[in-house]
Amino acid sequence: MGVDDHVPPPKNPLPKQCLFCDHNGRLTREDYFPEWLAALFPKAPNNKTRATHKVTRLRADGNTIHVFEGDGRQAKQGRTVDQTLRVLCQSCNNEKLGRLQERAKPILTPLIQGVWIPKGRVDLNTIASWAVMTTMVLEAADPPTISIPKRHRVRFRDTYEPPPGTLVYMAPTTSKKDAAFNHRALVIGLEEGPQHRAQCTTLQVGKLLLQVITSSEEVAIVDQMEHADDFGLLPIWPPPLWAEPVNVRMRDQAGVSELYRTVFAPGAIARIPSLGTRAPGNPEEFS
């Protein structure tokens, strides 16, 4: 399979409609990392901090994989935890998803601060829901690669349940950055025609690393336990069927980058089993 890595980034105006409902009016500027989270990090003494947002767009089209890799639109001056996106309506932002933020805050705070302690099932479910919500908002920063269909987001808003086929992992990190997000999206199909889409968001928040892998196919695109073993990640969603201990690895900054780059590597894409449980979707179903 050939690799074409000279694909220019497509233009990407933000979606006009709320990500989680059909509201077309004014959208609020969502801090995708909530205020409680930003408050956990000291303000930088100068303005030299730059937010980390990496985007990889992989499009598999017949025998060629087109690759664009670079900084996303949120890679700009300031802390990553202070960046915003105008993609949610008032109701979804403050009420529906605000409740999930409140629920997640006491569970996530110690993990972000580096206290890695075992969590029970209920807490792990909340962490997984928070990671999925954050991924849904973050991936809107690169509209051409939004990979979670709207129907999944609408259902999530009311249930907080990750869409079918979603995998969520966590691990501790020693990274000194406030936060970073890396979105790696895979589009299988022609540019304008029916497509399958999958994405992997690797999110570092303080000393916590989260990874969310989704597929528009509604089936997991990688083997849950194999991926956990290969990368030293704790599988937290779906609840693993057996309690096999996973050797969870502590990652430094370089380890975070490696983790982000290895998923959907061109060589691995060729080995993804043919996606075919659902008819491919039109590009519009993702916006």
222 near Zn ion (CB under 5 A): no
Complex with Zn ion: residue 22 or 192, whichever CB lies closer: 22
Report how far apart, in Å, the C-alpha atoms of 105 and of each of 68, 76, 94, 214 are: 35, 26, 15, 24
Using CB under 5 A, which of the segments 82-90, 117-125, 191-199, 267-275 binds Zn ion?
82-90
Complex with Zn ion: residue 51 or 92, whichever CB lies closer: 92
Cβ distance 136 to 19 under 8 Å? Answer: yes
Using CB under 5 A, which of the segments 84-92, 209-217, 218-226, 264-272 binds Zn ion?
84-92
Of the CA atoms within 13 Å of residue 96, those in its CB half-sphere come to 19
Complex with Zn ion: residue 23 or 119, whichever CB lies closer: 23
Report how far apart, in Å, the C-alpha atoms of 177 and of each of 38, 180, 181, 203, 231 are: 12, 7, 11, 11, 21
Complex with Zn ion: residue 15 or 110, whichever CB lies closer: 15
Judged by CB under 5 A, the number of residues near Zn ion is 6
Among 7, 14, 21, 225, binds Zn ion (CB under 5 A): 21
Complex with Zn ion: residue 89 or 263, whichever CB lies closer: 89
Using CB under 5 A, which of the segments 16-24, 189-197, 209-217, 224-232 binds Zn ion?
16-24
89 near Zn ion (CB under 5 A): yes
Q: Is 263 helix (H, G, I), strand (E, B) or coil?
A: coil
Q: Which amino acid is at 90?
A: Q
Query: What is the chain's length?
Result: 287
Complex with Zn ion: residue 156 or 181, whichever CB lies closer: 156
DSSP for residue 284 = G
Query: At closest approach, how far in Å is the CB of 237 from Zn ion?
Result: 24
Query: Which residues face 71 on adjacent strands?
Result: 54
92 near Zn ion (CB under 5 A): yes
20 near Zn ion (CB under 5 A): yes
Complex with Zn ion: residue 18 or 104, whichever CB lies closer: 18
Contacts of 224 (CB under 8 A, 6+ apart): 167, 235, 238, 240
Distance CA 88, CA 93 (A): 6
Using CB under 5 A, which of the segments 17-25, 100-108, 190-198, 230-238 binds Zn ion?
17-25
DSSP for residue 251 = B
DSSP for residue 206 = T
- What are phi and psi for residue 253, nearest 5 degrees? -55, -45
Among 17, 23, 50, 219, binds Zn ion (CB under 5 A): 23
Token pair for 224: 């849950």
Q: Per-residue x/- marks for Zn ion, 261-280, CB under 5 A? A: --------------------
Query: Site residues (CB under 5 A) for Zn ion?
Result: 18, 20-21, 23, 89, 92
